Amino acid sequence: MSDYKRKYMAELVAMIQKEGLRVFIAERGTYGFYTDNTGKRIVSFQLDSSLTFSGNYKSKSNGTGWRICEGLPSNFTKLLSINSPFEFDHYTTLDEHLNMYQKSSKYKEVTK
């Protein structure tokens, strides 16, 4: 990963944590997710050619999530409460996300 992306991700993590949220970064370093202390919902983010944030849900027929926004939001906590525009079974929890993707992504929680 480039020094630029490494620095940007470190700044992003600090901004998210400033709102009291838990942040997890994949081993690759260019994507991750965050949640609050309940772990009932997560928001994924990815830094590629741009920074994007996505909501996550479990569904038998409608994919696994939706893009919430591109670029830096003014409030990370608010993204956790944005409703999906699609039908789904339930929002993805912290435990479900780790159970599904931990083996391939090797997430680590970033502590202050």
Is 108 domain-assigned? no
If one counts the domains in the chain, the total is 1
Distance from C-alpha of 105 to C-alpha of 89, rounded to nearest angstrom: 24
Per-residue model confidence (pLDDT) at position 6 = 86
Q: Is residue 66 packed enough to be buried (19+ CB in 10 Å), middle (13-18) or exposed (0-12)? A: middle
Instruction: Please check whether residue 88 lies inside any domain of the structure.
Output: yes
Q: For residue 97, which amino acid is it? A: H
Question: In this structure, is residue 109 part of a structural domain?
Answer: no
pLDDT confidence of residue 1? 67
Whether residue 111 is contained in a domain is answered as no
Q: How many helices (H) and strands (E) does the chain have?
A: 3, 7
The tens-digit pLDDT sequence of the chain (112 residues) is: 678 888 999 999 999 999 999 999 999 999 999 999 999 999 999 998 899 999 999 998 888 999 999 999 999 999 999 999 998 999 999 999 999 999 999 999 999 7
- Asked, for residue 94, whether it belongs to a domain, the answer is yes
Q: Is residue 72 part of a domain?
A: yes
pTM of the model: 0.94
Domain span including residue 57: 3-102
Tell me whether residue 35 is in a domain. yes
- Kindly state whether residue 110 falls inside one of the protein's structural domains: no
User: How far apart are the C-alpha atoms of 53 and 43, rounded to whole Å?
Assistant: 7
